[in-house]
Structure 1
Amino acid sequence: MLIGEIIIGNTDKFEMIANKYDTPERIQIAKVSSDAIQNFLIDANSKNAIDFGCGTGLIGMNLLNEFNSMLFLDTSQNMINQINQKITDFNIQNVDTLCFDIEKESLSDLHIQADYIFMAQVLLHIHDFELVLSRLFDVLNEGGHLLIVDFNKNEKIVSDIVHNGFNPEELTEIMTKIGYKDIQFETFYTGSKIFMGHDSSMFILDSKRDHR
């Protein structure tokens, strides 16, 4: 069901749709997703965040006021260009952008660290998501959080482009082996035809890198 190399990143697809990505449907999903993330933030005003797989920044832009600084990171340069335009248009401070493929390189090599990393509807596009979760663990400061928003597993969806969602319990087991602690999750949204034309639900998972 998870068919090979095409899953990896889907960067080419996103390069093509970047300038028309912000549809009303995506904006609405981003709002409920960022609200869910906001509920899990603790004393984040002094913390720095990474919007990982940020797309056009729909999630991160909703959360700018929650953090001291934010890095928007994506594999698609055209998506990053869209964010750079928003940063210019709205004169946004304390943000940066980076076009980077964590499946090919490690962020640790760039000496980038974060207190919060959030990724919304990103994991389903990543072929080797265990590798990515492990590399993100290395980027977190001690006491830092990784927040994942994605679709619950939906067996009706058969795709060679994306995973058909995730089982949060199975994800918890994988992340525990990597070293993540205090993992909690909940389903926060159910919508009509929101996942490849199918009715689906979305979960949020909060995890932590403990103090050593």
Structure 2
Amino acid sequence: MGNTDKFEMIASSYDTSERVHIAKVSSDAIREYLVDANNKNAIDFGCGTGLVGMNLLNDFNSMLFLDTSQNMINQIKQKIADFNIQNVDTLCFDFEKENRSDIHADYIFMAQVLLHINDVEFVLSRLYDVLNPGGHLIIVDYNKNEEIVSDMVHNGFDQDKLIDLMKNIGYREIQSKTFYTGSKIFMGHDASLFILDAQK
């Protein structure tokens, strides 16, 4: 995944009040799309320090925190130890570089992760393979913002184009909506977040 080096450096100071707030808003939005998830297994993909996944622990039977940054994973391991959390596991892994056929989940959610991924179609295809039949991929990310010019991240996404791309991969029952607008939340710019739910 892109920008791993940057995340390695900021892991210990990542949990700012703004990020905690956005994670709470995002996890609340994700929760609205969960169906009978108490007996389901989830992956917090590109989990960072686990801000979103930690909010959703009680909604699932188990959760795998997955990230390309070992320092981020170490932060989660510390939280797991501090709170004596039982139903979780961690994995430092990069789907852009490798494949794992032994990982499967009923739900995969990724919050503000897609914008860091260079080959969006490739990774979404890999995640499709990870999902169990009938499983859900839930994406939270920024709507496209032409004011943002960066060689490190995508400047958000057009929901309709993303839906078309995912349909071509094989995802179905896709629905999306904008659910949050904030001041200076995306590289110093005002921006809005969308949520997209897709089924295998």
TM-score by length of structure 1 reads 0.94
Q: What SS does structure 2 have at the residue aligned with 1:15?
A: helix
Q: Secondary structure at the match of 1:40?
A: coil
Look up the equivalent residue of 1:84 and give its one-letter code: K
* RMSD of Structure 2 on Structure 1 (CA): 0.5
Q: What's the counterpart of residue 159 of structure 1?
A: 150
Partner of 1:141: 132
Query: Does 2:34 match 1:41?
Result: yes
Runs of 4+ in 1 over 3 A off after TM superposition: none
Post-superposition offset of 1:42: 0.3
Taking every aligned residue pair, what percent have the same amino acid on both sides?
76
1:138-184 per-position Cα deviation (integer Å, ceiling 9, x unaligned) = 00000100000000000000001100000010000000000000000
Q: For each residue in 1:95-152, what CA deviation from the matched residue of structure 2 results, as whole angstroms up to 9, or x when unmatched?
A: 00000000001132xx110000000000000000110000000000001000000000
Equivalent position of 1:53 in the other structure: 46
Q: Corresponding residue for 2:22? A: 29
TM-score (normalised: structure 2): 0.99
The 3-state SS of whatever aligns with 1:107 is coil
Contact 1:107 1:135 in 2 (8 A): no
Q: How many residues align?
A: 200
The aligned residue for residue 128 of structure 1 is: 119
Residue 113 (structure 1) aligns with: 104
Q: Which residue of 1 is the match for residue 66 of structure 2? A: 73
Q: Provide the rounded CA distance (Å) in 2 between the counterparts of 1:38 and 1:18.
A: 26
Q: Which residue of 1 aligns with 2:55?
A: 62
- Per-residue deviation at 1:89? 0.3
Partner of 1:3 in structure 2?
Answer: none
Instruction: Verify: 1:91 aligned to 2:84, yes or no.
Output: yes
